[in-house]
Amino acid sequence: MSLFIAGTIALDTIETPFGKKENILGGSAVHAGVSASFFTDVSICGIIGKDFPKEHLDFLRSRDIDLSGIITHEGNTFCWSGFYEYDMNHAHTRDTKLNVLLDFDPVLKKEHRESEFVFLANLDPEIQLKIIDQLEKPRFIAADTMDFWINSKRAKLHEVVKKVDFILLNEGEIRMFMETPNIPLAAGRLLKLGAKGVIVKKGEHGALLFTKEDHFSAPSYPQEVFRDPTGAGDSFAGGFMGYLAKTKDLSFNNIKKAVILGSSMASFNIEDFSLDRMKTLSKSEILERFNAFKEFSEFEALLVKEL
């Protein structure tokens, strides 16, 4: 097993300018896990209710994802309901029903405790901390969060930042969390708090990577098919972490490649609702898109005589 992912497993109700879908497969661990499964072996840890459809578990198994860390509990599965306006850059939450998530108290089995690459997808930061405490030899931990937890559990999130290597946030979340509109300043604050790296996802406008020594700006992809942004952030994280877990190379150059793979996976995920695009995605399409990202961002140096 190479990548351990903990997060939500959800039934989402989503409305975008392209339609409304009720009770579809979603959740941060699901979007991240499926995306990562294109690159490495994945284990998912989460909780579902008795109402969770078997066909969704079958789909995750069809991606060779280890589901032994999923607990089934009496009650209903976590539900998120949200909508996107015309520009689709910001998710608006209509309702969050935590349901069985309120009873989620993960006790990791030995194989999962020994994971080296770990992604703590968007989840209650108290649970993220409980998972970190059980890890025996982590080499690289990344964590994600969202406004819901920044508003309700800010202090716990500070603790998470201190204990992980990388933190991934979207631009609205980092501004809210670090209380400044300036993204480089906000990233600097997170690095000061203890994170070794910060990734800021800017939706269709690309992503930024900050470490203490370096900075990288990933380009945006001119996406023409764009139906549902839900799960873009988690698909990004899945591609990013899946590639790092596969290569086990934490050099800055390799991390930059992982960011572009993350961006590629996010760009596919938004092409359709739920995990539908992931069901038909092939490795050759991923390769082609990665190379397109490279082409869009290459340019020549400016010579003095040209000025």
- Interacting residues with ligand AMP (CB under 6 A): 8, 10, 12, 26-28, 31, 80, 91, 96, 122-123, 146, 148, 230-234
Cβ proximity to ligand AMP: between 103 and 111 the closer is 103
**Residues 202, 171 contacting (CB under 8 angstroms):** yes
In the complex, minimum distance from the CB of residue 128 to ligand AMP, in angstroms, rounded to a whole number: 10
In the complex, minimum distance from the CB of residue 12 to ligand AMP, in angstroms, rounded to a whole number: 5
Q: For the beta carbon of residue 226, count every other beta carbon within 10 angstroms.
A: 16
Structure-token match 């989620």, residue found = 104
CA proximity to 87, closest of 16, 155, 25, 1: 16
Structure tokens at 25: 């497969």
Q: Which residue is nearest to ligand AMP (CB)?
A: 26
In the complex, minimum distance from the CB of residue 37 to ligand AMP, in angstroms, rounded to a whole number: 16
Structure tokens at 102: 């309120």
CA proximity to 117, closest of 263, 248, 209, 251: 248
In the complex, minimum distance from the CB of residue 191 to ligand AMP, in angstroms, rounded to a whole number: 22
Tell me phi and psi for residue 187, to 5 degrees.
Answer: -65, -40
Tell me phi and psi for residue 306, to 5 degrees.
Answer: -85, -10
Cβ proximity to ligand AMP: between 148 and 250 the closer is 148
Rounded to the nearest 10°, the torsion over CA 65, 2, 121, 211 is: -150
What is d(CA 307, CA 28) in angstroms, rounded to the nearest whole number? 48
Structure tokens at 299: 């340019």
Cβ proximity to ligand AMP: between 91 and 118 the closer is 91
Cβ proximity to ligand AMP: between 26 and 33 the closer is 26
In the complex, minimum distance from the CB of residue 169 to ligand AMP, in angstroms, rounded to a whole number: 10
Give the burial class of 303: count Cβ atoms within 10 A of its Cβ; 0-12 exposed, 13-18 middle, 19 or more buried. exposed
Structure tokens at 22: 């009720």
Cβ proximity to ligand AMP: between 116 and 126 the closer is 126
In the complex, minimum distance from the CB of residue 11 to ligand AMP, in angstroms, rounded to a whole number: 8
Cβ proximity to ligand AMP: between 4 and 104 the closer is 104
In the complex, minimum distance from the CB of residue 232 to ligand AMP, in angstroms, rounded to a whole number: 5
Cβ proximity to ligand AMP: between 95 and 298 the closer is 95
